[in-house]
Amino acid sequence: MNNEIFYYFYNFSHKSEIFDWIIIFFGMVLPFLIVFVAGIFVLIESKIFNKEDSILVRVKRLLYKSVIIFGPAIIAFLVASVLKDVIKIDRSFVQFDKITPLFSPNQEYSFPSSHASAFSALGLSMYFYRKDIGIFFLVSALLIGLSRIIAGVHFPIDILAGFVLGTLIVFICRSFSFSASR
């Protein structure tokens, strides 16, 4: 079933240069834009430019909000990267000769997707921090994951496992933060 779903989505690629460009944008450029937007959000939310507070207070707020928002995403990315090297499942274009990816991925193996792990964790962290903004980040995570299937660099199970891993890490991090605040 994984292969059938993969081929269903992959068959959208290589049909239109414009559509391929959109998929490349979602799979390669959007992740950088999302991190940039999240960084700006954290800067604004931490009131780093508020001259009324001391620099120490502003830096503490910035560090705290950065850890809450970016911490789970960084952990998810690292855990997924380690799991890839342990599990060692080849990417779709390595397993199937007829697959030509739209772009070259950074890592050799595919399971679980480190992009799906990191961006689902970032989206869910943002959702728990502020729901209205979090929905944008969660939709972006879905677009990134789907685009990486269409581009031929991930199987659907890689993306699903990444989303599950990212979600688990957010809940684990939240449980530690709640227990630490008691």
Q: Which CATH number fits the domain that encloses residue 93? A: 1.20.144
Query: 119: exposed, middle or buried (C-beta count within 10 Å: 0-12, 13-18, 19+)?
Result: buried
Query: Is the predicted pLDDT of residue 180 greater than 60, yes or no?
Result: no
Rounded distance between C-alpha atoms, residue 141 and residue 96, angstroms: 26
At residue 21, what is the residue type? W
pLDDT at 182: 47
The position carrying tokens 């508020």 is 50
Judge whether residue 179 has pLDDT over 90: no
Overall average pLDDT of the 55-69 stretch? 87
How far apart, in Å, are the Cα atoms of 90 and each of 17, 77, 112, 125, 128? 27, 18, 11, 30, 34
Q: Are 116 and 163 in contact (CB under 8 A)?
A: yes
- Omega prior to 112 cis, within 30 of 0: yes
| Reported confidence tier of residue 59, pLDDT bands at 50, 70, 90 | confident
Q: Range of 69's domain? A: 2-180
Q: Give mean pLDDT, residues 94-123.
A: 89
Tally of domains within the chain: 1
pTM of the shown model: 0.87
122: pLDDT strictly greater than 50: yes
Which one has a higher pLDDT value, 17 or 107? 17
Residues 6+ apart with CB under 8 A from 83: 111, 112, 165
User: Using CA atoms, how far apart are residues 115 and 73, in angstroms rounded to an integer?
Assistant: 9
Mean pLDDT value across the chain:
90
